[in-house]
């Protein structure tokens, strides 16, 4: 298994490109199942989760072709066609590796009247059930059975519109049901829908494919079903979590980075926290600039919430930043249980963190020191890379496959801005 070695203590400076959003591209690939025409997606990040979703589409009978691009280009353009759809099963092996595989459930059911998707099972950041997806699809008329670890969803004479209120906010749940509703008979209203920008991106692509959706960007989505969807060409929006991660990289190293191809508007909750902590963020032509010039970060309390609140996917990175703050920071996780696995690893690097239920008290220390560490999920892993960039000495991050799931050539982007970072093959 590969690992990454970071020798910390260098302020980062320069410019790096932000890739397309993984969490937008995943449902967009699944949306190709809704039509028998070709969907072309530009700015798809070249990360393992997208390769897994592409494999799943191919298993189902879809065609996935990559348009030629220069070898050193970031991102890719994919041509997706589900004209030859032949299977409706998302098998355990794929869903177990990547929960977002459940995003094929809504499109398959709406297009063919039948979908069979393995239940995802436990995952490193909590139990993460899909009961809300299933309840909402049942409200569109699906018959749902659980058997042998699989969800069997059937709607032999098609789905029908419904009025659905999500009891709590779910991102992929909203996406699954939104995609299904596009081909349901009649009108669907989704209330308390998630408002993450990736849902807006999916909705805009669906509209380009001929779907009728109103309320994009709000928590109430109104869909008028259509008989069929067309092909379209769509550019995936920039990854706000990657943007935020590199913003923290600038802040934690006392550096000055320009992040290209993204925007400040995508990270406003994070930007508020970073500014309060003493980091400068400015909009520049084609991106944003993040710099920390004066002294230590100030400890700031953070609580994760659904969008537009502070994203849970930035919690670990901001915790890494707060480990060397002056003063204390209370970090409260409200979206997932058990999302503090990075805490013991950060403590091994000299951080002072105590967890009390859903909150972690981070008392800033003057400096971190490098250590061998390992993490159990994507964002926890990258928080250790960030800590390593600031720490004295070498940090060895094991289980790099977590990083490869969601960060496109992380070490190349950081090295180009002066980080001493390398991948060690084993």
Query: What are the catalytic residues?
Result: 123
DSSP 159: -
Binding characters for ligand UD1, 373-412, by CB under 6 A (x = yes): ----------------------------------------
Q: Which residue has the tokens 């950041």?
A: 125
Q: Where are the beta strands (DSSP E) in 124-231?
A: 143-147, 150-154, 163-165, 187-191, 212-214, 220-224
Quote the CA–CA distance of 423 and 397 in Å, as a whole number. 9
Site for ligand UD1 in 310-339 (CB under 6 A): 312-313, 335-336
Specify whether the CB–CB gap between 193 and 221 falls below 8 A.
Answer: yes
Contact 76, 66 (CB under 8 A): yes
Q: Helices (DSSP H) in 209-364: which residue ranges?
A: 240-252, 268-276, 315-322, 342-348
Look-up of token digits 């190293």: 253
The single residue among 75, 161, 173, 238 that binds ligand UD1, judged by CB under 6 A, is: 173
170 touching ligand UD1, by CB under 6 A = yes
d(CA 179, CA 173): 10
# binding residues, ligand UD1 (CB under 6 A): 20
Question: Which CB sits closer to ligand UD1, 100 or 397?
Answer: 100
Strands of the sheet containing 150-154, edge to edge, are 89-90, 114-118, 150-154, 143-147
Count, residues in the chain: 426
Of 129-137, 214-222, 223-231, 289-297, the segment contacting ligand UD1 by CB under 6 A is 129-137
Which residues, numbered 10-39, are part of the site for ligand UD1 (CB under 6 A)?
A: 23, 26
Give the binding range for ligand UD1 (CB under 6 A) out of 29-37, 156-164, 167-175, 206-214: 167-175
Which position among 10, 97, 128, 363 is part of the footprint of ligand UD1 (CB under 6 A)?
A: 128
Q: Which stretch binds ligand UD1 (CB under 6 A): 40-48, 163-171, 275-283, 410-418?
A: 163-171
Among 84, 121, 122, 129, binds ligand UD1 (CB under 6 A): 129
Contact 378, 402 (CB under 8 A): yes
Closest separation between CB of residue 335 and ligand UD1, Å? Answer: 5
Lookup result for tokens 């028998």: 36
Beta carbons within 10 angstroms of residue 388's beta carbon: 29
Give the whole-angstrom CA distance, residue 192 versus residue 216: 13
Stretch that binds ligand UD1, among 165-173, 289-297, 316-324, 357-365 (CB under 6 A): 165-173
With beta carbons less than 8 A apart as the criterion, state whether 7 and 404 touch.
no
One character per residue 53-92, x = contact with ligand UD1 (rule: CB under 6 A): ----------------------------------------
Helix (H, G, I), strand (E, B) or coil at 200: helix
Stretch that binds ligand UD1, among 130-138, 242-250, 281-289, 365-373 (CB under 6 A): 130-138
| Residue pair 384/8 in contact by the 8 Å Cβ criterion | no
> Least distance to ligand UD1 from the beta carbon of 198, Å?
6
> Judged by CB under 6 A, which of 87, 131, 145, 422 binds ligand UD1?
131
Please identify, using beta-carbon distances, which residue of 220 and 352 lies nearer to ligand UD1: 220
Q: Which residues contribute to the site for ligand UD1 (CB under 6 A)?
A: 23, 26, 99-100, 126, 128-133, 168, 170-173, 312-313, 335-336
């Amino acid at each position: 298994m590969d690992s990454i070695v970071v020798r910390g203590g260098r302020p980062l400076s320069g410019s790096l490109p932000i890739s397309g959003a993984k969490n937008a591209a995943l449902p967009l690939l699944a949306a190709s199942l809704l039509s028998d025409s070709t969907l072309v997606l530009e700015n798809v990040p070249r990360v393992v989760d997208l390769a897994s979703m592409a494999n799943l589409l191919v298993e189902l009978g879809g065609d996935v072709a990559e348009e030629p691009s220069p070898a050193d280009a970031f991102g890719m353009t994919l041509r997706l066609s589900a004209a030859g759809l032949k299977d409706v099963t998302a098998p355990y092996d794929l869903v177990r590796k990547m929960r977002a595989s459940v995003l094929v459930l809504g499109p398959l059911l709406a297009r063919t009247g039948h979908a069979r998707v393995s239940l995802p099972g436990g995952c490193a950041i909590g139990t993460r059930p899909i009961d809300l997806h299933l309840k909402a699809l049942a409200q569109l008329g699906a018959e749902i059975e659980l058997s042998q670890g699989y969800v069997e969803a059937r709607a032999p004479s098609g789905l029908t519109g419904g009025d659905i209120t999500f009891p709590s906010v779910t991102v992929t749940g909203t996406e699954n049901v939104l995609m299904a509703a596009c081909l349901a008979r009649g009108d669907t209203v989704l209330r308390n829908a998630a408002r993450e920008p990736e849902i807006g991106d999916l909705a805009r692509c669906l509209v380009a494919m001929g779907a009728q959706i109103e309320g994009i960007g709000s928590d109430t989505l109104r869909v008028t079903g259509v008989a069929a969807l067309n092909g379209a060409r769509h550019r995936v929006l920039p990854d706000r979590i990657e943007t935020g991660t590199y913003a923290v990289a600038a802040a934690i190293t006392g550096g000055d980075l320009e992040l290209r191809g993204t925007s400040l508007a995508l990270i406003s909750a994070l930007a508020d926290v970073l500014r309060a902590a003493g980091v400068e963020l400015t909009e520049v032509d084609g991106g944003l600039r993040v710099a920390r010039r004066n002294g230590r970060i100030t400890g700031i309390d953070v609580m994760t919430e659904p969008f537009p609140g502070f994203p849970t996917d930035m919690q670990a990175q901001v915790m890494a930043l707060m480990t060397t703050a002056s003063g204390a920071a209370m970090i409260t996780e409200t979206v997932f249980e058990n999302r503090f696995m990075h805490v013991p690893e950060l403590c091994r690097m000299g951080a002072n963190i105590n967890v009390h239920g859903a909150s972690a008290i981070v008392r800033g220390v003057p400096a971190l020191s490098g250590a061998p560490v390992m993490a159990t999920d994507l964002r926890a892993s990258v928080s250790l890379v960030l800590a390593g960039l600031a720490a004295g000495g070498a940090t060895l991050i094991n289980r790099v496959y977590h990083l490869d799931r969601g960060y496109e050539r992380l070490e190349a982007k950081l090295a180009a801005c002066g980080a001493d970072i390398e991948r060690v093959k084993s």
